[in-house]
Chain A
Amino acid sequence: MSSFSTYLRLGYEHILSLSALDHILFVIVIMAAYQPKHWLRILIAVSLFTVGHSLSLILSAYDAVAVDKKLVEFLIPLTIVLTAVFNLSKAGQNAQSNFKYFLALSFGIIHGFGFSSYLGMLMLGDGDTWSALLPFNLGIELGQLLVVLITFVLMLIILVIMRTKARDWNLFVSGIAFGLSLVMCLENWPW
């Protein structure tokens, strides 16, 4: 294998492993209030999440911003808790609300700082900062795309074929995400 495809595989397998569940959960919970017919809005929201975490990754790769690792590990599950709660509100249930975009982007920035745990391992020196990081992150995006696709297929089955109410599906997904991330929050309590 070439080193590019090796790091691509590493990123892909990392995001699909359970240790990256916080990022996966966020992607799922940001999709929870949508239906298959809102596919364009899903695409925009997930893309904004990607823009957000790429932005903070670049900032930390160049040491432009230093963040407290403990605080970030608490804030990441908190973003899921907050998004899950927002999904229960009237605005959150409204698929036409643009506030979801704002959440995806700004919470994406917080998630990107969480990726700093692998920065030290993958930055090989000043000359080739991105030779491992770039394929690794492409791998992460591919894995994330797969999560979006699987969730979308589930939505098709549950909402279109089984005709479950969109509200029930949203409650179910947001509830699971809320519970799991609340425990992660408490476990990562920084004070």
Chain B
Amino acid sequence: MPQTLFASFIGLSLWLLHPFHTSITNCEYNAQSQGLEISIRVFTEDLELAIGEPIQNIKPTASIEQDSAIIAYLKNHMALKADKLELKTIYLGRETEYDITYLYMEIPAFPHTAKKFEIRQTILFDQFEDQSNILHLQLGEESKSLFYVAGETFKTVLFP
């Protein structure tokens, strides 16, 4: 009994150590290219855990072929529907700065006049139960923010 207590005490203390599980996604409509520019900010070590391999620090354009694991992962965890129509995202590359990795994607010919957007952002939910994902969608002057916690999938955002 004392051993069990002691072990759970140690276990509890260990479990408390990791600080902060979150990611931030910015989606911004570019009127010139008419595409939706997406950047996802994640902690590099968290992303490595999710895709199961280390991320090498290579310039974004040089590494798209090597990023198949990231692309496959994003496909499973991020999706965007405009007025119920699922949109195709294109992976552009990534950058790593200190302990943060930026993932870049684009949706070309984005239907920015749509009224209803359904967005899924579930990265790292399988890895951390305290993971939260923040997503900002900016279309022109209008900006909306979504807050995802583990267990949630698609969230709906309406534009006037």
Contact = CB atoms under 8 A, between A and B. Distances in A.
B132 to A, nearest CB: 6
Interface in A1-37: 1-3, 5-7, 9-10, 13-14, 17-22
Q: Nearest 8 CB-CB pairs, A to B?
A: A183-B13, A6-B145, A117-B19, A3-B145, A118-B20, A21-B16, A120-B100, A1-B145
A114 B9 contact: no
Contacts of B17: 19, 73, 184, 187-188
Interface of A: 1-3, 5-7, 9-10, 13-14, 17-22, 73, 114, 117-118, 120-122, 132, 179-180, 183-184, 187-188
Interface string B17-34: 111111110000000000
A114 B20 CA distance: 11
Contacts of B14: 183, 187
Given A6-B145, A7-B134, A120-B100, A14 B20 contact: yes
B12 A114 contact: no
Contact of A121 (B10, B18, B43, B145): B43
A183 B9 contact: yes
Given A17-B130, A120-B98, A10 B22 contact: yes
Size class of the B contact interface (CB-based, 8 Å): 20 to 34
Interface in B26-51: 41, 43
A1 B147 contact: yes
A21 to B, nearest CB: 5
6 contacts: A6-B147, A13-B149, A14-B20, A73-B17, A121-B23, A121-B24
Nearest to B21: A19
B20 A117 contact: yes
Nearest to A186: B13
Contacts of B65: none
Contacts of B22: 10, 14, 118, 121
Contacts of A13: 132, 149
